[in-house]
Amino acid sequence: MLGSDLTPRHGLRLSSLAAAVAVGSMVWLAARSFAAGSCPQHDPLRVLSSCQELVGSLAIRVGITAGIAVLLMELLSAGLRRTTEAMDDDRRTAAREGSARLDSR
């Protein structure tokens, strides 16, 4: 369904995906930069993964989660918009049918 400006009215747009990627990237960079200072200079117990690798992995997951949250909010907004438009169409149709019945009397 196209709007008056020939853009899709419902669903995900490229701008929504770009916003999700931008938010996810910003959250990833912020999480990585804030948490990197909490790692010690030397790992006393050299285990399979160091603190820096764990922080980086967690920052990536947090960024992906933030991007997914942006997409879910966009889908929720599109669904609410679609519901509102359907309810308005139903009200207009009912009002036209009601006025047509009154005119025929």
Residue 64 confidence (pLDDT)? 95
Report if residue 67 sits inside a domain.
yes
Q: How confident is the model at residue 45 (pLDDT cuts 50, 70, 90)?
A: low
Residue 4 confidence (pLDDT)? 44
Residue 6 confidence (pLDDT)? 42
Residue 35 confidence (pLDDT)? 81
Which residues are CB-neighbours of 19 under 8 A, at least 6 positions away? 70, 74
Domain count, the chain: 1
Residue 15 confidence (pLDDT)? 85
Q: What does the pLDDT look like over 12-44, one tens digit per residue? A: 678 888 999 999 999 999 988 888 777 777 766
Q: Which domain holds residue 70?
A: 14-38+48-104
Report if residue 89 sits inside a domain.
yes
Q: What does the pLDDT look like over 50-83, one tens digit per residue? A: 777 888 889 999 999 999 999 999 999 989 999 9
Report if residue 21 sits inside a domain.
yes
Count the Cβ atoms, other than its own, within 10 Å of residue 85: 13
Say what the pTM is: 0.67
Rounded to 5°, the CA angle 27-32-36 comes to: 155
Residues 80, 70: Cα–Cα separation, whole Å? 15
